[in-house]
Structure 1
Amino acid sequence: EPAGRRALTRLERMGLPLGPVVATPGGRAQFLVAPGAAAELHDLLYRMGWDDRTHLDLHGLGPGSHVTAPPSDRGGLGPARWLRPPSLDTATKPPAARLLLGTLAYVAHRSRA
């Protein structure tokens, strides 16, 4: 979550379109983006120069996965909360993952260093 907060701050300063962002009780930040990003994650990272994504703590959630939406309790582990709540603009048209991924990868990489 701390890396997600830093990435969110950078993305907002850059003026990029953002969708909702969830903070999980497990300490992760989940950026909600347009469908299909999970299947493209590896290729997108590779094309951006992140050829060894095993060192990045980025995971795509695709078909069969779920996100616990705030203000829900995640199976007794604690509450999920919004770092950036949904808005009318982003509810119908979430951003493409490729717009956010470079910054997310950079911040994730810097957080591991």
Structure 2
Amino acid sequence: MEETIAAAEDSQIAGQIPQQRGDSPQETAVRYAEERHWDVVPGTWLEAVRGVPRCSCGEASCSAPGAHPARPDWATQATGSATVVRRLWQKQPTAAVLLPTGRTFDALSVPETAGFLALARLERMSLTLGPVALSPDRRMQFFVLPGGSAKVPELVRNSGWVPASLDLVALGEGAYVAAPPTRFGGRGAVQWARRPTPANRWLPDVEELISALAYACGRDR
């Protein structure tokens, strides 16, 4: 029975990702602050070096080129003021749009394959999802109520899994997610697998998602 359900879910994994709006990083960051009341902060950006996009941090081996904090005090620089957001992005219009976690939301980061599998299962269960981001490094971030990240290890164990055996990362205070339209080097842009809408303004609790996410990550090992 479990194999039949898994096969049905696998058939949904190849669903189309919604097309992104063509707004600039500044316009999008302002919208996140105004419409979602999310704090935002500009990150690094891409610079062309001999025709090759390189991260503004200057590290040739940067693991997230153009998509990570640009300064050590980035958390204190984050703001929900649309006026301040406009001013910050005027300094560097192509800077990454970063959303600090642990404030208005936490996030659960899983491999892309596991993420799509979990999405299929959660939709079959008719659970209400919050926004879900898909990054070019082939990971998905599920937004949940703040404070949920601290509960993850115990919830995973209660679901019958060993936390260290799963590629499931809880992002809370002190962490961040890169949001659309942030670009990762030459790998493409962050997209919304489930975009923010009025219907998902109220985020799910981590307990509602953890079983499906842990199962999907277990299958993806």
Q: Is this a same-fold pair by TM over 0.5?
A: yes
SS in 1 for 2:144: coil
Q: In the alignment, which of 203, 217, 220 is matched to residue 94 of structure 1?
A: 203
Higher Rg of the two aligned structures: 2
Percent identity between the two aligned chains: 44
> After the TM superposition, which residues 14-33 of structure 1 pair with which residues of structure 2 at under 5 Å, given as runs?
14-33=125-144
Runs of 4+ more than 3 Å apart: none
Aligned counterpart, 1:103: 212
> After the TM superposition, which residues 36-51 of structure 1 pair with which residues of structure 2 at under 5 Å, given as runs?
36-50=147-161
1:49 Cα shift? 2.2
- Alignment gaps of 5+ in structure 1: none
**Cα distance in structure 2, aligned partners of 1:64 and 1:31:** 17
Specify which structure has the higher proportion of strand.
2
1:48 Cα shift? 2.2
Q: Partner letter of residue 67 of structure 1?
A: V
What's the CA shift string for 1:24-79, capped at 9, x where partnerless? 111101101111111111111122222x11111100001111111112224x3531
**Cα distance in structure 2, aligned partners of 1:33 and 1:59:** 13
The two structures have a TM-score, normalised by structure 1, of 0.89
Which has the higher relative contact order, 1 or 2, with Cα contacts under 8 A spaced 6 or more apart? 1
SS in 2 for 1:78: coil
**Cα distance in structure 2, aligned partners of 1:13 and 1:71:** 29
Cα RMSD (Å) of the superposition?
Answer: 1.2
Q: Partner letter of residue 138 of structure 2?
A: G
> How many positions carry a matched residue from both structures?
109
Specify which structure has the higher proportion of helix.
1
**Cα distance in structure 1, aligned partners of 2:152 and 2:163:** 10
Q: Partner letter of residue 147 of structure 2?
A: G
